[in-house]
Amino acid sequence: MHVMFHSKINTAANSISKSLLLITLFCSCLISCSTKNTQIRKDTTIVNIKFVKGKPLPPKEWHVYKINTNEEWIFIPESWHLINEDRFLLTARLNVPDSESHFLVLKLDQKEVKLNAVGYMRESYKEFIDGSLQKLTGYKTTKLVYNDKVVFSSEFNTLMDNKSYVTYSTVFEKDNYIFDIVLKVGASDNAQDYQEKYRDILFNFYYKTKQIFSITDTVKDIKFIDLAKL
């Protein structure tokens, strides 16, 4: 697969808040309606998990964060640093010196925000175009239709403080929620290696004990999307 809210931000989160703001500015008035402060993160080294599908991850190199009473399981490398940021399901700083590089998972209640995945993609794109924090220099968004889901897979290229970044985003709907799994990294900071880690995370993302993505998924339809025309 080729496959991107009213709580106080702590000191650790402030260093990347400019970047996080770009993709959440349009829903800032809906903060109190979504995810709230109910997330409970339990960090455990990967043990006793049978990988039915997807790539098995080395137990000592990856951690799993079980959130909302085990509703979501998010696997990230052990070397990434979790940030206490309640606007998102999970936020982590990558093991690179650049504070703008990060990983995050966003979850929005569709009934509360009155958006579907298409509307979310449209509003996010507007923030990229209208925002002054970074300049969008190019992007590619692909819509993949499966038997059980529709996925918007994007790669955004941006310029911020004279440095180029690449952001990988995977947006999908599940049980009236919009999920966006995002990784942003400097284009010169081994971006290809981070893209591989990003794919590992996708194929091992659990919702209600079931993996959302599988290497055996069959794509029924695929097409490139012009976000400006959504």
Q: Which two tokens stand for residue 105?
A: 């998972």
Domain count, the chain: 1
Q: Domain for residue 34, yes or no? A: yes
Name the residue among 105, 103, 77 with its Cα closest to residue 206: 105
Domain around 36:
11-229
Q: Domain for residue 59, yes or no? A: yes
Q: Domain for residue 2, yes or no? A: no
pTM of the model: 0.81
Range 191-216 average pLDDT? 90
Q: Domain for residue 137, yes or no? A: yes
190 torsion bin: left (phi>0), alpha (psi -120 to 50), beta (else):
left
Contact 22, 134 (CB under 8 A): yes
Going across the sheet that includes 90-93, the strands are: 81-83, 90-93, 102-109, 177-186, 163-174, 150-160, 135-145, 221-225
Mean pLDDT of the chain, nearest integer: 78
Q: Domain for residue 5, yes or no? A: no
pLDDT score recorded for residue 68: 85
pLDDT score recorded for residue 163: 92
Q: Domain for residue 129, yes or no? A: yes
User: Could you report the per-residue pLDDT of 167-190, keeping only the tens digit for each?
Assistant: 999 999 999 999 999 999 999 988
Q: Domain for residue 155, yes or no? A: yes
Q: Domain for residue 6, yes or no? A: no
Q: What is the CATH number of the domain that holds 42?
A: 3.40.1000.10
CA 1 – CA 153 distance, rounded (Å): 9
pLDDT score recorded for residue 54: 63
User: Could you report the per-residue pLDDT of 39-59, keeping only the tens digit for each?
Assistant: 555 555 544 445 445 677 877
pLDDT score recorded for residue 39: 53
